[in-house]
Amino acid sequence: MSKNIPHLVQYQGSKRILAPQILSYMPRRIKRLVEPFSGMAAITIAAAAEMRANQYHLNDLNAPLIALLQEAIEKPTELLNEYSRIWKDQFCYKDDHVQHFYFVREKFNNGEESPANMLYLLARCVKGAVRYGKNGKFNQSPDKRRHGMTPQKLEQNLAMLSSLLKGKTFFSSLDYREILENAKPGDLIYMDPPYQGVSNVRDNRYFAGVSFDDFAKSIEVLDRKGVDYLISYDGMCGEKGYGRDLPSTLNCSKVLLNAGCSSQATLMGQHKVTYEALYFSDSLKKHFVSVGQLPLWEKIA
Ligand SMILES: C[S@@+](CC[C@H](N)C(=O)[O-])C[C@H]1O[C@@H](n2cnc3c(N)ncnc32)[C@H](O)[C@@H]1O
């Protein structure tokens, strides 16, 4: 991935590394790119860096995450100032930067879900993984070796991010089904739901996992409306597949993208490549055939 593509923070499940492969399955020009499960928006950012779409829609059920993206894109200076204040504070907070993380986490859990607090927690927590307990509180631990992105580095990333997406991006924090109900022909929907089996419960407003059957029903609606879509959905490591395939009744095809060597297998002295599935709608396939641009599926399918 090019060094010129900005990112805000490490985020578990991010598609940053796979973005060039995923983008090769998208048309060159898109009216509106919609991400119902945006996370940290790696695909939208990579697409914007190639000026693929006129408009972007970022949605994620996690409202503080979307508020963070919105602030970063629309008010980067405010976010930078507030983050810098919190970040610097960790070095004098009772001589213990780990305790500072717990202090900010406590504030976040007591209603101060500001974009800067969210960014700091994500930047400092283990694996950039958002975790909420059954009581709805953010309960991920700090990574004791990390202090989080420096304000200097953040400033560069914010400037690039904002210049790519400001004035072109709509933000929402709804269940993905509402977004798909409103999708229309001309949109390209890129979906990256949580891995099957991941049930990261917060409360009804936040993640409770995505049901396989509900998800498949929503895709059927896109098929009926003739809306173009791409779906990242589980995959395999070595010989071992994980997750169920989407139903064969859907009008889409599947390819496997090479996501590199599994770090867990490497630690165990094995060399295993991880593959992630990408489904693309038949309407998208027809588009590529009509413009004579056959992407990689010919080779991988
Ligand atoms: C695998 S992550 C997406 C990562 C993203 N592609 C990236 O590159 O950063 C899945 C996202 O789905 C969101 N999510 C979970 N359930 C959802 C739902 N019902 N509706 C919308 N978003 C949901 C989670 O908050 C999480 O950020």
Q: Where are the domains of the chain?
A: 19-63+164-300, 72-154
Pocket residues: Cβ below 6 A from ligand 1 = 11, 13-15, 36-37, 39-40, 42-43, 60-62, 175-176, 192-194, 207, 210
Across 20-40, average pLDDT: 95
Identify which of 43, 40, 61 has the alpha carbon closest to the alpha carbon of residue 52: 43
Q: Across residues 54-79, what is the average pLDDT?
A: 97
pLDDT at residue 1 greater than cutoff 70: no
Q: Of 58-72, 117-131, 233-247, give the lowest mean pLDDT range.
A: 233-247
d(CA 280, CA 251): 9
Tell me which residue of 36, 34, 41 sits closest to 15, measured CA to CA. Answer: 41
Q: Is 147 helix (H, G, I), strand (E, B) or coil?
A: coil
Amino acid 300: pLDDT:
46
Quickly state the pLDDT bin for 129 (edges 50, 70, 90).
confident
220 CB burial (10 A radius; 0-12, 13-18, 19+): middle
Nearest CA owner, ligand 1 atom 4: 39
Mean pLDDT (the chain, rounded): 87
pLDDT for 203 equals 41
What is the C-alpha separation between 192 and 176, in angstroms, rounded? 10
Q: How far is the CA of 60 from the centre of ligand 1 (A)?
A: 6
Query: Which atom of ligand 1 lies nearest, measured to the CA of 200?
Result: 15
pLDDT at 295: 65
Check whether 172 has a pLDDT greater than 60: yes
Beta bridge partners of 185: 187
Taking the C-alpha atoms of residue 102 and residue 13, their distance in angstroms, rounded to an integer, is 24
Query: How many Cβ atoms from other residues are within 10 Å of residue 300's Cβ?
Result: 14
Global pTM value: 0.91
The residue with greater pLDDT, 291 or 87, is 87
CA 219 / ligand 1 centre spacing (Å): 16
Give residue 292's pLDDT. 74
pLDDT of residue 211: 87
Mutate to test the pocket of ligand 1, among 15, 18, 37 (most ligand atoms within 8 A of CB): 37
pLDDT band at 269 (very low <50, low <70, confident <90, very high): low
pLDDT (average), residues 24-43: 96
Does residue 194 register a pLDDT over 60?
A: yes
> Which ligand 1 atom is at minimum distance from the Cα of 208?
16
CB of 280 within 8 A of CB of 25?
yes
* Residue 2 CB neighbour total at 10 angstroms: 9
Q: Residue 62 pLDDT more than 50?
A: yes
Does the domain at residues 72-154 carry the CATH identifier 1.10.357.10?
Answer: no
Task: Measure 93 CA to ligand 1 centroid, in angstroms.
Answer: 33
| Rounded mean pLDDT, 145-154 | 92
Question: Cα(12) to centroid of ligand 1, in Å?
Answer: 10
- For domain 19-63+164-300, give the fold: Rossmann fold (3.40.50)
pLDDT classification of 35: cutoffs 50, 70, 90: very high
Determine the pLDDT at residue 275. Answer: 87
Question: For position 266, what pLDDT does the model report?
Answer: 58
